[in-house]
């Protein structure tokens, strides 16, 4: 049986939520609930599932969808909002969607942990933050991260190792 978009989405739900949450940042989250963005990514994934060529890339593909979605919202919201008040109002009136799936405790818990991570990461340097997000949240390989950050694979691992040290300090782990 081929992989269905529902299943792929479920498998990556938490990762996608983390990507959306962290990429949105506090300013954008005031305007739009990350859960709603996640829903939109799900809808987009279901609608364009056919464009996915290799099933094993589903995770990376979904992460790309999520990143693009956030980028688009950022453009629409932060760029357009000032020009067109009607549009902003339309966004505010958007009601959260029904299916939250997880119970209140787990969802709140995950949000807490995300908020904790975000707060800690704000005190990290840009490089450290980026390498953690790219490799551990978005799930890119060391080679891909290396290409983006113009480093060798070895250097990426070392950088991540140091970033985790700083993160552990900030999280008091």
Partner 1 sequence: MSEPGAQGEHGEPASAADRRMAEVLRGASGPAEVRRTLEGEQSEEASDVLSRLNALDFVEKLVGADVDVPEHIGSYRVKGLLGRGGMGTVYLCWQEDLEREVALKVLSRGFTADPTMRKRFRAEARATAALHHRHIVPIYDYGEAQGMLFFAMERVEGMSLDKHVNAARRVGTYPMEPLEAARRFAGVADALGLAHRRRLLHRDVKPGNIMVGADGTLALTDFGLAKALDQASAHMTSQDGGFLGTLHYASPEQAMGRELTAASDLYSLGVTMFEAVSGQLPVSGASTEALLQSVLHGTRRRLRDVVPKPPRDLEAVLEKLLSREGRDRYQDGEDLARDLLRIADEEPVHIRRIPWHVRLWRRARKNPVLTGALAAVLIFTFVTIFLLGLWSREQGRGRESRHENQLVAIERSISSERGSAWGSKPMFAALTGVKVPSFEPNPSILGVLEATRAAMPDDPRVPAMYRAYVEDPALQASRYLAEGRGYEAVQLYDAAIRAAIDDRAGSDPSIDLSLYNLYLGRGVARLTASVALPEDARTDLELASFLRPGAAFPNIVLDMLDVVRSADIRVASARARERAQASSAGYREALGTLLWAAAGYRPIELSNMMDFRLPHERQRVVHALAATLLQQAPPACALHGQPTGFAKTLATLCSRALGRRADPAALRMIDAQVNSLVGRAIRPGAEAAGWGHLLQLLTRPRQRGPLLDEEGQPLSPQLQLATWRCLLALDPKSAVARLWLPRFGDFQREHPGLEGLLEVAARMHLVAESKEALQWSEQWALASSRDPAARFCRMQVRLREQQLAGAQDDAIACIQSAIEPQRALRDIVEWMGQLTQVLSPPRNEGLLQMVESFRSMLGKELPDFRGGK
Residue from the set 55, 123, 125, 147 that interacts with partner 1 by CB under 8 A: 125
Chain-centre distance of CA 95, in angstroms? 21
String marking each residue 139-158 x if it binds partner 1 according to CB under 8 A = x--x--------x-xxx-xx
Taking CB atoms within 8 Å and a gap of at least 24, the contacts of 126-130 are 127/159, 127/163, 128/159, 128/162, 128/163, 128/166, 128/167, 129/163
From CA 147, how far away is CA 132, in angstroms rounded?
Answer: 15
Identity of the residue, 82 or 86, whose beta carbon is nearer to partner 1 in the bound complex: 86
User: CB 88 → partner 1: shortest distance, Å?
Assistant: 11
**Under the criterion CB under 8 A, does residue 13 sit at the interface with partner 1?**
yes
Count of residues binding partner 1 (CB under 8 A)?
Answer: 69
Q: Is 167 in the site for partner 1 (CB under 8 A)?
A: yes
- Helix-helix angle 5-31:85-92, to 10 degrees: 120
Closest CA to 171 of 110, 126, 122: 122
Contact 18, 59 (CB under 8 A): no
Residues 39-78 that bind partner 1 (CB under 8 A): 39, 43, 47-48, 50-51, 53
| Residues at the interface with partner 1 (CB under 8 A) | 1, 4, 6-7, 10-15, 18, 39, 43, 47-48, 50-51, 53, 86-87, 89-90, 92-106, 110, 113-114, 117, 125, 127-128, 131-132, 136-137, 139, 142, 151, 153-155, 157-169, 171, 173
């Amino acid at each position: 049986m081929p992989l269905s978009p529902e299943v792929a989405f479920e498998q990556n739900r938490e990762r996608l939520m983390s990507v959306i949450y962290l990429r949105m940042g506090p300013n954008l989250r005031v305007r739009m609930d990350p859960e709603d963005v996640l829903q939109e990514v799900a809808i987009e994934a279901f609608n364009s599932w056919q464009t996915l060529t290799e099933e094993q890339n589903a995770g990376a593909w979904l992460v790309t969808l999520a990143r693009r979605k956030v980028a688009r919202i950022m453009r629409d919201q932060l760029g357009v909002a000032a020009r067109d008040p009607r549009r902003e109002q339309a966004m505010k009136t958007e009601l959260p969607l029904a299916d939250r799936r997880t119970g209140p405790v787990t969802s709140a818990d995950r949000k807490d942990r995300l908020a904790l991570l975000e707060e800690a990461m704000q005190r990290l340097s840009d490089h450290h933050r980026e390498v953690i997000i790219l490799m551990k949240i978005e799930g890119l390989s060391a080679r891909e991260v290396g290409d983006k950050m113009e480093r060798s694979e070895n250097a990426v691992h070392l950088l991540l190792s140091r970033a985790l040290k700083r993160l552990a300090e900030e999280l008091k782990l």
